[in-house]
Amino acid sequence: MELDIPKVMDYLRQRSLAEGKVHRDARDIVTFHQSFLNSVESNGRLHEMGLILDYKIHSGNLFQDVMLAPEMFSKGKLHILPERIKDRKGLSRLFKGQTKNKKS
């Protein structure tokens, strides 16, 4: 039937978020997904440190995996400052009109 399954799934995910219908076991997954999108919308690419901080604050899992941070930082996996893309207007157009469920 030529359905775009990923597009349908994304629509249903966004709709359930907008209606507040998230299974309690999936709350951390939804929080991580939103933190990922926040990072990409803000920088045009993933900023791992920003992703981690946003996720930790919104999930309440502040100390989960905290002992991994020093090793990741020393291996160059975590950067303090984000690398941003140049085409900020193009990035804004990508996210414009997207239904998002930002947590306060």
**Residues 18-71: tens digit of each pLDDT:** 898 888 898 898 899 889 989 998 889 899 999 999 999 999 989 888 899 889
Is 80 within the bounds of a domain? yes
Number of compact structural domains in the chain: 1
Is 100 within the bounds of a domain? no
Rounded CA separation 33/66 (Å)? 20
Is 101 within the bounds of a domain? no
Supply angle C-alpha 8, 30, 10, rounded to 5: 10
Is 67 within the bounds of a domain? yes
Rounded CA separation 40/97 (Å)? 15
Is 99 within the bounds of a domain? no
Rounded CA separation 19/8 (Å)? 16
- Quote the pLDDT of residue 80: 87
Q: Containing domain of residue 21, as a range?
A: 5-94
In one-letter notation, the amino acid at residue 55 is Y
- Quote the pLDDT of residue 99: 46
Contacts 24+ apart (CB under 8 A), 85-89: 85/43, 85/44, 85/45, 87/44, 88/44
Is 32 within the bounds of a domain? yes
Is 82 within the bounds of a domain? yes
- Quote the pLDDT of residue 17: 82
Is 104 within the bounds of a domain? no
Q: Report residue 46: phi and psi, to 5°.
A: -75, 130
